[in-house]
Chain A
Amino acid sequence: MALSLPAALALLAILVAVFALVAVAGVYSRLRQVEQVIADLTVGGGRRDTLPASLRPQPGESATVLLTLDGECPICHRLAKAVEEEMATAAWAGLRVVRVFSSIDARDRHPDVVAMETVADPDVWAAVYEGYNPTLSVVNAAGEVIFRRFVYADTNLTELLAEASAVGLAQGKRAPSREAV
């Protein structure tokens, strides 16, 4: 049976239309995939970078306890004092304690403590600071922050310091096996 010219044209047009529909659907689904990929790739924000080597525990120490302090705030002074007292006991042997200040001015408002190391360097501060003062964090040998607490006026410091030292010292027990690998 012979096809008339208009009928053939109509069939052709339908074919083209169907093809166009399939093409649009295909492009749309690819676009959705790309959107999802972009959404998953834009992770960036929020993850912590590893901290500079100068803040990591030295050989023989299991972890670093970092105190991010401000010159003015009374809680900062209380926290530093509590840590100093705690360091006098044997429980904190094997932990490196570092006070981090944003500026020399801020450091000068705190008393000198021989047992604690002190860093007053804007770059180090920028790497450590998490938007609140005072903050206590524990850093392992790989430079990862494994424990971080914001310290408030009503925070139970005894409990906090016990928890932090437990986390830090537990790190020391695990460290040799990791180094062996």
Chain B
Amino acid sequence: MIRIAPDGARLDIDLPQEFGKPDWVCVTRISGVRVQRDFHVTAVGQYQVIQKKMMPGASKRVFARKGYDVHLYEAADRSDSCLVWVGPYHEATTWFGAAAPRSELLASLINSIHFEDSENGAQVRPSVPQMSQQHGTLVAAWSEWAFLCIRPAEEAAAVLPEWRGLVRDDQEIWRSDRGLEGAEGERLAGTAYQWRYVVAGPQTVTELTFHPPGSPLRPQALSDDPDRRASAVLDGLRATWAG
């Protein structure tokens, strides 16, 4: 399947069926003149939670643009606020952690971000690329079984272990202890749940973990052979990152 990363890169991902149905989440960071912001991109609709659950009684302002709206939410006590770019398929959120900035700064921020939505992912890029940098972009997916995080190889080199991994075709695979503790750690020792898998391909570094039974991310009723599923996902997983 094809996904568009927030920085405009095109990802071609082979995701085995054993991974489950993915919910995509992307993260990116833009820093430049008067802009220093992190953005989270998710499927559209999450913004409704802000007024319902996260900040009940929050005020909302909408700035209409062609193809998307920009929503400004501010908590009733002005302790937090966020800006959400809402397109037809995806939304991008950035949190201020304080009262909303004054309107000149808001306008300047909205104007300095180029938001372009499509079915396969939304782009959140600086509108003047010469004056800002975009980095820390990653594309992640949740399913009922597992969590997956894809980064471009040039940014992810630092997370790779120093020792040699298992070489398979043009990929190298490592597993490292994910640090489960106490009774859970003992119970899951020796299974696929114990590990965080890192797959380094020519263009991407992918991290993969499986939700252990009892995890809030995993529906109670699911049960399966974790090792078989882990090897099926690792076998079929391919990701290229172009642009």
Taking CB atoms and an 8 Å cut-off, the chain B residues in 186-237 that contact chain A are: none
Q: Which residues of A contact B69 (CB under 8 A)?
A: 148
Q: How large is the interface on B (under 10, 10 to 19, 20 to 34, 35 or more residues)?
A: 20 to 34
Contact with B along A45-77 (1 / 0, CB 8 A): 111110000000000000000000000000000
Assess whether B33 is in contact with A148, with CB atoms less than 8 Å apart.
no
Q: Which residues of B contact A42 (CB under 8 A)?
A: 111-112, 127-128
A54 to chain B, nearest CB (A): 19
Q: Which residues of A contact B65 (CB under 8 A)?
A: 46-48
Q: Complex Cα distance A18/B98, Å? A: 42
Assess whether A38 is in contact with B66, with CB atoms less than 8 Å apart.
no
From B113-121, B135-143, B176-184, the one touching the partner chain is B113-121
Q: Which residues of B contact A145 (CB under 8 A)?
A: 64
Option from B67, B87, B116, B128 in Cβ contact (under 8 Å) with A39: B128
B232 to chain A, nearest CB (A): 32
Assess whether B128 is in contact with A131, with CB atoms less than 8 Å apart.
no
Taking CB atoms and an 8 Å cut-off, the chain B residues in 105-154 that contact chain A are: 108, 110-112, 114-118, 127-128, 131
Assess whether A40 is in contact with B108, with CB atoms less than 8 Å apart.
yes
Chain A binding surface, main DSSP class:
loop
| A35 at the binding interface (Cβ < 8 Å) | yes
Assess whether B34 is in contact with A39, with CB atoms less than 8 Å apart.
yes
Assess whether B111 is in contact with A40, with CB atoms less than 8 Å apart.
yes
Option from A40, A43, A44, A132 in Cβ contact (under 8 Å) with B88: A132
Interface size on A, residues (CB 8 A): 20
Contact with A along B68-91 (1 / 0, CB 8 A): 110000000000000000011100
Q: Complex Cα distance A44/B68, Å? A: 15
Q: Which residues of B contact A40 (CB under 8 A)?
A: 108, 111
Taking CB atoms and an 8 Å cut-off, the chain A residues in 123-181 that contact chain B are: 130-132, 135, 145, 148, 150
Q: Complex Cα distance A132/B88, Å? A: 6
Q: Complex Cα distance A150/B89, Å? A: 9
B116 (CB) vs chain A CBs: closest residue: A131
Q: Which residues of B contact A130 (CB under 8 A)?
A: 66-68, 88
Q: Complex Cα distance A35/B32, Å? A: 11
Q: Which residues of A contact B64 (CB under 8 A)?
A: 48, 145, 148
- Count of chain A to chain B residue pairs whose CB atoms are closer than 8 Å in the complex: 59
| A4 at the binding interface (Cβ < 8 Å) | no
| A36 at the binding interface (Cβ < 8 Å) | yes
Option from B67, B68, B131 in Cβ contact (under 8 Å) with A38: B131
Assess whether A131 is in contact with B34, with CB atoms less than 8 Å apart.
no
Option from B111, B112, B118, B127 in Cβ contact (under 8 Å) with A131: B118
Option from A39, A44, A48 in Cβ contact (under 8 Å) with B108: A39
A75 to chain B, nearest CB (A): 12
Option from A39, A132, A135, A148 in Cβ contact (under 8 Å) with B131: A39
A70 to chain B, nearest CB (A): 13
Q: Complex Cα distance A49/B195, Å? A: 53
Assess whether B88 is in contact with A45, with CB atoms less than 8 Å apart.
no
Q: Complex Cα distance A63/B131, Å? A: 42
Option from A35, A43, A46 in Cβ contact (under 8 Å) with B66: A46
Option from A35, A44, A49, A131 in Cβ contact (under 8 Å) with B87: A131
Q: Which residues of B contact A46 (CB under 8 A)?
A: 65-68, 110-111, 114-115
Q: Which residues of B contact A35 (CB under 8 A)?
A: 33, 131
Q: Tell me the B residues contacting A by CB distance below 8 Å.
A: 33-34, 64-69, 87-89, 108, 110-112, 114-118, 127-128, 131
List 5 tightest A-B contacts by C-beta distance, closest first: A132-B88, A46-B65, A130-B67, A150-B88, A131-B67
Write 24 A-B pairs (CB below 8 A) sorted by A numbering: A36-B33, A36-B34, A39-B33, A39-B128, A40-B108, A42-B111, A42-B127, A45-B111, A45-B127, A46-B68, A46-B110, A46-B111, A46-B115, A48-B64, A48-B65, A49-B66, A130-B66, A130-B67, A131-B67, A131-B117, A132-B67, A132-B88, A135-B88, A148-B69
